[in-house]
Amino acid sequence: MFKKIVVPISGDAITKKELNKIAKLAKLDNAEVVLVYVSDPLAPFVYTESVNNSLVSEAAHKKACSEFAKKLCAKAQSQLGSSLNVKFMHIIHPNIADGILEAAKKSKADAIAMSSHKRTGISGLILRSEGCEVVLHSPIPVIILN
């Protein structure tokens, strides 16, 4: 059914249980999994984990994002297992949902599998999740995991 599945990852947005579901789906058709991390191109004024509160240069920000993305990818890849064909993309984009869609287009994916914040009620109307934005604008199927 699917030959290439884009899977956005972030520090807290996807769990081992969800990665297991993705692994099962990918194994059904021997699909390639493309892990995607989207970074904001603008450096924050301060990193919360830094010891000193100094300004962060653009180059230092990109390096930090790249290193963080590699760590997340390695963690997700180990949870997916070695039997899958897994690739990784680091996209720099100011909008996470648009970055995910850009990654899907660049990788020529047939589906996107992602988790959602599961916002409901008023907060769901006001603070739409990236999952909602991707579903609304994606030209390919989007699988929302929960």
Q: Which residue has the tokens 């970055």?
A: 99
Q: Is the dihedral of CA 31, 32, 35, 41 positive or negative?
A: negative
> Could you tell me which residues come within 8 angstroms of residue 130 by beta carbon, excluding any fewer than 6 positions away?
8, 96, 97, 100, 114, 116
pLDDT for residue 14: 73
| pLDDT tens-digit readout, 79-89 | 898 899 999 99
| pLDDT tens-digit readout, 3-55 | 999 999 987 667 888 899 999 999 999 999 999 999 988 877 655 555 454 66
Q: Closest Cα partner for 140 from 107, 115, 116?
A: 107
pLDDT for residue 145: 85
pLDDT for residue 131: 84
pLDDT for residue 13: 61
> Could you tell me the two tokens for 114?
């992602």
Label residue 59 by pLDDT band (50, 70, 90): confident
- The total number of residues shown for the chain amounts to 146
Q: CA angle, corner 33, sides to 27 and 35, nearest 5?
A: 145
